[in-house]
């Protein structure tokens, strides 16, 4: 599903975020990428989502090299990806339901089926009863669950999450981690960048240290 082949990423003015990183992740796997702040975890996720381009090496997602992907090919990739980024970018003037509907509305999904999918996604993250609420009325854990619902509403084969349990208390973090495990058990390939790998006991762990894989 994912292959990094000697991938390096250097940001201007010369910060090496990742150095000759190689690893593979099979379809259906759950993988945790752990490491200290600045180790390169977010960069790894951004390269998979083609938000950033590698300086050298190849990033393959589903057999396609996404490093040199033309802008016109990005929607094809993004449709297969569910992204939960650190900055969730929830729409605070729209309801919970509308936030989750947005990715489907953008792709012109038929409204009736879209409504069913939104309700199914909200149900999976335990927010079915809150669909009319505004995000501001939700707790931090609920906002994170809303971001997950929005990421999975397109039923992606691959779910990527960057520090999805940051800023949550231990009980809420465990609850959010359980949701990722449930998607994994339902067949979704799940990759999570987190400093707290212990929350994901079912996952294989890749450890990064200053952009290098720790053997
Ligand atoms: N857009 C950017 N421009 C310049 N440097 C960047 C940029 N993004 C990240 N970096 C640098 O690259 C290195 C890796 O950052 P990255 O965000 O990938 O690490 P991280 O492990 O996700 O850290 P954190 O857990 O703090 O989010 C850091 O030194 C960071 O300062």
Gap between the Cα atoms of 43 and 167, Å rounded: 20
Take atom 3 of ligand 1 and give the residue whose Cα is closest: 11
Ligand 1 proximal residues by C-beta, below 6 Å: 11, 15, 17, 35, 37-43
Question: What DSSP element (H or E) covers 206?
Answer: strand 204-209
The CA 40 to ligand 1 mean position distance, Å, reads 6
Gap between the Cα atoms of 140 and 20, Å rounded: 36
- Read off the pLDDT of residues 13-68 as tens digits, 9 standing for 90 and up: 999 999 999 999 999 999 999 999 999 999 999 999 999 999 999 999 999 999 87
Homologous superfamily of the 2-90+154-213 domain (CATH)? P-loop containing nucleotide triphosphate hydrolases (3.40.50.300)
Take atom 5 of ligand 1 and give the residue whose Cα is closest: 11
**Across all residues in the chain, what is the average pLDDT?**
94
The interface predicted TM-score of the complex, written ipTM, equals 0.94
Radius of gyration for the chain, computed over Cα atoms and rounded to the nearest angstrom = 17
Gap between the Cα atoms of 77 and 48, Å rounded: 9
pTM of the model: 0.94
Residue 29: half-sphere exposure toward Cβ, Cα within 13 Å: 16
Indicate the top mutation candidate among 8, 9, 10, 41 to test ligand 1's pocket, ranked by most ligand atoms within 8 A of CB: 41
Sheet hosting strand 212-213, strand order edge to edge: 81-84, 158-162, 189-193, 30-35, 204-209, 212-213
């Amino acid at each position: 599903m994912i292959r990094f082949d000697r991938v390096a990423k250097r940001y201007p003015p010369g910060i090496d975020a990742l150095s000759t990183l190689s690893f593979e992740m099979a379809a259906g796997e759950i993988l945790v990428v752990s490491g200290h702040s600045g180790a390169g975890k977010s960069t790894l996720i951004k390269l998979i989502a083609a938000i950033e381009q590698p300086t050298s090496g190849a990033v393959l997602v589903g057999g396609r090299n996404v490093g040199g992907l033309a802008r016109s090919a990005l929607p094809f990739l993004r449709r297969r990806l569910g992204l939960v980024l650190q900055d969730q970018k929830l729409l605070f003037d729209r309801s919970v339901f509308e936030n989750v509907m947005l990715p489907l509305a953008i792709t012109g999904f038929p409204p009736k089926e879209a409504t069913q999918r939104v309700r199914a996604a909200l149900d999976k993250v335990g927010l079915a009863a809150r669909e009319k609420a505004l995000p501001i009325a939700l707790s931090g854990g609920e906002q994170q669950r809303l971001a997950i619902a929005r990421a999975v509403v397109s039923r992606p084969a691959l779910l990527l999450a960057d520090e999805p349990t940051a800023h949550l208390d231990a009980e809420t973090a465990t609850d959010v981690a359980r949701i990722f495990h449930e998607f994994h058990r339902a067949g979704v390939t799940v990759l999570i960048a987190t400093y707290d790998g212990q929350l994901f006991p079912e996952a294989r762990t890749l450890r990064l240290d200053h952009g290098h894989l720790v053997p």
